[in-house]
Structures are given as C-alpha cells and as structure tokens.
C-alpha cells in the first residue's frame, strides 16, 4: 500500500471516529464536498496540500522530511473542543436573548450551563456536534 493510501486511510478512519459528515469537513477545509469525498475514497491525482488541509481539519498534521511523520490530536480532545465551541455558541444565543429581556445571567451560571451542554453533547450522537 502506498504512503498516500495509508494517509487516506488514516483520514477516513479519523473522520469516522469523529462522526464528522463529509459536508462539515468540506466546509471546514474550504473545499467542495465532492472533492473531499473523492480524496477520502482514494481517487488518484490528489494533491498533497489538499490532503494536508483535510488532515488539519481532522486534527492531524504531517511532517514530510524523508519520511512522513503523522501527529494527531486525540479524538476525545477534538470532540471536547467541538462540544465546547458549540456550547459557547448556544449559551451566547441564550444570553443574548435573555439580555434583551433584562434577564441576563451571571458568569458563573453561564459557565455551569456551558459545562452541562458540553457533557450532554458528548454523551449523545457525535453527529450532533457537527451540525448547526
């Protein structure tokens, strides 16, 4: 198996581990969804920079100097980061609405709500983390 095929397998496995839909990965990589699907399905003629861009969005970095070394973030770290980002967004929406009504919430309460949302997101389907 070639180095490129090994890299593609690593990327496809990581995408599955994260439960990240192709559409979300394409948006994060600023690539077309068809391009991402072609790359991860092993289409020939893939540019290394395209692989590297997709890899970065999946928490994987490559170092090419004679041999390719792969550095990855733990899957749980990426899931936690995504859950935290989504929770912050949800809390901000809620806080913004409550603030307009004169019912804003203090910082400690917001932090506890955010932590609870993170916990609930991580306990549910991984796909919930990636969709709006």
Cα–Cα distance between 12 and 46 in angstroms, integer? 14
- The chain-wide mean pLDDT, for the chain, equals 81
What is the total count of domains within the chain?
A: 2
Name the domain boundary from 72, 103, 121. 72
**What was the pLDDT predicted at 31?**
93
66 and 87, same structural domain?
Answer: no
For residue 114, the enclosing domain spans 76-130
Long-range contacts of 61-66 (CB under 8 A, 24+ apart): 62/7
**What was the pLDDT predicted at 65?**
47
80 and 19, same structural domain?
Answer: no
101 and 67, same structural domain?
Answer: no
82 and 61, same structural domain?
Answer: no
61 and 84, same structural domain?
Answer: no
Cα–Cα distance between 39 and 51 in angstroms, integer? 7
pLDDT exceeds 70 at position 97: no
111 and 64, same structural domain?
Answer: no
Residue 129 near residue 89 (C-beta atoms within 8 A): no
88 and 36, same structural domain?
Answer: no
Name the domain boundary from 54, 72, 90. 72
Band of the pLDDT at 100, cuts 50, 70, 90?
Answer: very low
């Amino acid at each position: 198996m070639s180095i490129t095929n090994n890299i593609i397998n690593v990327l496809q496995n990581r995408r599955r581990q994260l439960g990240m839909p192709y559409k979300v990965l394409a948006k994060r990589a600023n690539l077309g969804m068809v391009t991402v699907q072609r790359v991860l399905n092993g289409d020939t003629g893939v540019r290394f920079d395209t692989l590297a861009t997709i890899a970065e969005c999946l928490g994987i970095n490559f170092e090419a100097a004679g041999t390719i070394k792969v550095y990855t973030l733990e899957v749980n770290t990426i899931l936690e980061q995504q859950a935290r980002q989504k929770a912050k967004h949800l809390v901000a929406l809620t806080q913004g609405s409550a603030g307009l009504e004169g019912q804003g919430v203090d910082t400690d309460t917001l932090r506890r709500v955010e932590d609870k949302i993170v916990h609930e997101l991580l306990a549910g389907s991984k796909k919930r983390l990636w969709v709006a």
